[in-house]
Amino acid sequence: RKEVEQDPGPFNVPEGATVAFNCTYSNSASQSFFWYRQDCRKEPKLLMSVYSSGNEDGRFTAQLNRASQYISLLIRDSKLSDSATYLCVVNGWGRDDKIIFGKGTRLHILP
Amino acid sequence: ETGVTQSPTHLIKTRGQQVTLRCSSQSGHNTVSWYQQALGQGPQFIFQYYREEENGRGNFPPRFSGLQFPNYSSELNVNALELDDSALYLCASSLPGGASTEAFFGQGTRLTVV
């Protein structure tokens, strides 16, 4: 099983719709979880951290399910500017652990 | 911006040559990680340095090596370049572990091997 797995997509979604992505991770000792956004030919940028209790930032909601070892990202009222690749990121605990990226899910918002 | 800068931004090398990529991390971040991102793929972990020592390595051959310096700068060295080494190379600085360990990325170096 890969350390971090995502559906590569692409997800083609009409503007204004709601879209959700899941990401599974294999290391049950993982401690920190993030969603990054990457635009074409740019570096990844932090979209939001994922907390155990779930968290929301405007139109974006992130959830963590430790029992099933997955995190999710929900985007409501999608905008054209949301078109990007969304990378799931998992980090361990302590200096010996490393940040692992999923391969990303491509999202295309259609006008 | 993130406070992480990489140089050069673009580079073309010939197969068999050696290359050094540089990264200046965010001040106070004593962990730096390097990633290779091929077109259409997610970033692949190369290795991580913590306080100037290698602290974890991904599935990359020994011709990929690195250094970290006390001033929060670091280098990625690749020997005997192969065509498949063409990719975007990203460095990221972070604090080690912790509940909110965000990785701050540089803009990347796009390496083309011909």
Q: What is the pLDDT of residue A1?
A: 65
Q: Which residue of A has its CA nearest to B1?
A: A45
pLDDT digits (tens, 9 = 90+) for B3-61: 899 999 999 999 999 999 999 987 778 888 999 999 888 889 899 898 899 988 888 99
Instruction: For chain A, 111 residues long, give each residue's pLDDT as a single digit of tens.
Output: 678 899 988 999 999 999 999 999 988 888 789 999 999 888 888 899 898 888 999 999 999 999 999 999 999 999 999 999 999 998 765 554 677 889 899 999 999
**Interchain CB distance below 8 Å, B43 and A92:** no
**Interchain CB distance below 8 Å, A43 and B45:** no
Contact between A58 and A97 (Cβ < 8 Å):
no
Q: What is the pLDDT of residue B96?
A: 62
- Token reading at A77: 């009222």
Q: Tell me which residue in B56, B90, B98 faces A98 most closely, judged by beta carbons.
A: B56
**Contact with chain B for residue A40, Cβ under 8 A:** no
Please give, rounded to a whole number of angstroms, the shortest distance from the CA of B105 to a CA of chain A: 7
Q: What is the pLDDT of residue B98?
A: 47
User: What does B40-65 look like in DSSP terms, one character per residue?
Assistant: TSPPEEEEEEETTEEEEE-S--TTEE
Q: What is the pLDDT of residue A60?
A: 97
Burial degree of B5 (CB within 10 A; 0-12, 13-18, 19+): middle
pLDDT digits (tens, 9 = 90+) for B51-99: 899 988 888 999 999 999 998 899 999 999 999 999 999 998 887 654 4
Of B31, B3, B14, B29, residue with least CA distance to B78 = B14
Q: What is the pLDDT of residue B99?
A: 41
- Token reading at A43: 């570096």
**Interchain CB distance below 8 Å, B42 and A103:** yes
pLDDT digits (tens, 9 = 90+) for A76-87: 999 999 999 999
